[in-house]
Amino acid sequence: MVTREAAADSAAGPAVRTYQVRTYGCQMNVHDSERLAGLLEAAGYRRAAEGADADVVVFNTCAVRENADNKLYGNISHLAPRKQADPDMQIAVGGCLAQKDRDAVLRKAPWVDVVFGTHNIGSLAALLERARHNRVAQVEIEESLREFPSTLPAARESAYAAWVSVSVGCNNTCTFCIVPALRGKEVDRSPGDILAEVRSLVDQGVLEVTLLGQNVNAYGVSFADPRLPRDRGAFAKLLRECGHIDGLERVRFTSPHPAEFTDDVIEAMAETPNVCPTLHMPLQSGSDRVLRAMRRSYRADRFLGIIDRVRDAIPHAAITTDLIVGFPGETEEDFAATLDVVARARFASAFTFQYSKRPGTPAAEMPGQLPKDVVSERYQRLIALQERISMEENAAQVGTTVELLVATGEGRKDASTARMSGRSRDGRLVHFAPGGADIRPGDIVTTTVTGAAPHHLIADAGLLAHRRTRAGDAHAEGRRPRTGVGLGIPGIGAPPKAATSDGCGR
């Protein structure tokens, strides 16, 4: 869980209501929470001071994992005594679980004031006001996208790194995944709109952007603007255009789908200097039989072939993945195939999950649901293998020179070790010794790796260089980028008559 809390405006009078957004789940949800914060601030709310009770608490939920429901309702129940003592305090539940549960949220937690879905996050402020005025809970769940989320104001969390959505929704039908049912079919933004947002962020000091989509490889086939033709090469073109933006130092993207990963994207990654040498590509399983059952339209050999081509073009690329253990019907032979692909791929790291049955997905009704103890035992074997590989891959970095974008909140032990933390260009987390220099999050430092662990690197040799940046200045001054207003980003539906550039080189 990521809890968004910031200092309230000290000059605000007692009439100003404060808010807090609690976020569960993926990067999409984190970025949606930035929009929720921007909407509330545009409506006159202020973020609650750290540790203070907020007048409005918004839960932005995830429905991917089985324990998401229990976690949400457990946390909501902790607020029931506050709500009873202060009826003006409000609780709102949005996101994927709200889209799934709908009216059930109020049945399980009748003290909630607002329930809204993934397609209408722009309604939050109005729903809160209506609930206050009418003293009746408001539930509003749209079945399709009302407006492109990037049209909404966003209060960004970071002064130096930002998420930028290239699309919403997903056209895949993976049998384990509930996301398409909750976020809808894929809708793509025009390249011009995306690049306008990126330029706006860079103008405000941002150094790094991550392009977000449920399947970024499919970008270009479902443009919201019907005047734009389908373009299978649109994502590679978008990466190259990002390379022409002055001041944009790092570009990342997540997540591609192996079935649609094309060589033009690899070429764009290799030939665009600010595109980082890192790739997160979900494998899910190394068994072709299980991949078929998952409706993942690629096979292990294709996946490994993509990795080979990426490493041929970008030899030092750090490749990460997602893996599911214990999918219905998975045999020991199937699991051994996953271990084999992991051993051959040598991922820098992996997000590993024990299969979780989600009502409404085809996999939930499949025969061969595995006992918990079998899944847990396989999971531990997979973790052990990947930890060993991650340790070996990180140990190979010792002695190398790394450029770090200094980050905040990455190192849990930084205070006790007197280190700071940052991300290398390939995405690895590095804890480094600042050596007494006045370094701010958002600055760039160069140092030498002196030690390794499975999930991070250590750099205690002293700094080779330190560059103060506008992002560091903005962080030190408490300034956060804001987007979503004045960018000319269209909503869903008929486009305006005036022609706009598609933003990519022609």
Note the residue count of the chain: 506
Q: What are the start-end ranges of the E strands in 181-329?
A: 187-188, 208-212, 250-254, 278-280, 318-325
Distance CA 189, CA 437 (A): 42
Residue where the block lists tokens 């499949």: 366
pLDDT tens-place string over residues 352-389: 999 988 888 999 999 999 999 999 999 999 999 999 99
504 assigned binding-site residue: no
DSSP annotation of 7 reads P
Name which of 175, 173, 91 is nearest 363 in CA terms. 175
- The arithmetic mean of pLDDT across residues 256-275, rounded, is 96
345: its two tokens: 């791929």
Residue carrying structure tokens 């976690």:
71
**242 is an annotated ligand-binding site residue:** no
Average pLDDT, the chain: 89
- pLDDT digit string, tens, across residues 329-362: 999 999 999 999 999 999 999 999 999 888 889 9
Tokens of 455: 């999930």
DSSP string, 362-414: GGGG-S-PPPHHHHHHHHHHHHHHHHHHHHHHHHTTTT-EEEEEEESS--TTH
Q: Specify the higher pLDDT residue, 493 or 223.
A: 223
pLDDT tens for 182-234 read 888 899 999 999 999 999 999 999 999 999 998 999 999 999 888 999 999 99
More confident residue, 250 or 24: 250
Judge contact between 127 and 139, C-beta under 8 A.
no
Location of structure tokens 């390379």:
243
Residue 169 near residue 210 (C-beta atoms within 8 A) = no
The reply to whether 276 sits in an annotated binding site is no
Say what the pLDDT of residue 51 is. Answer: 85
Under 8 Å CB-to-CB from 144, ≥6 apart: which residues? Answer: 119, 184, 492
At 345, the amino acid letter reads A
Tokens coding 117: 């879905």
Task: Give the pLDDT confidence score for residue 65 in this predicted structure.
Answer: 67
Please state, in angstroms and rounded to a whole number, the distance separating the CA atoms of residues 220 and 223.
6
pLDDT at 446: 98
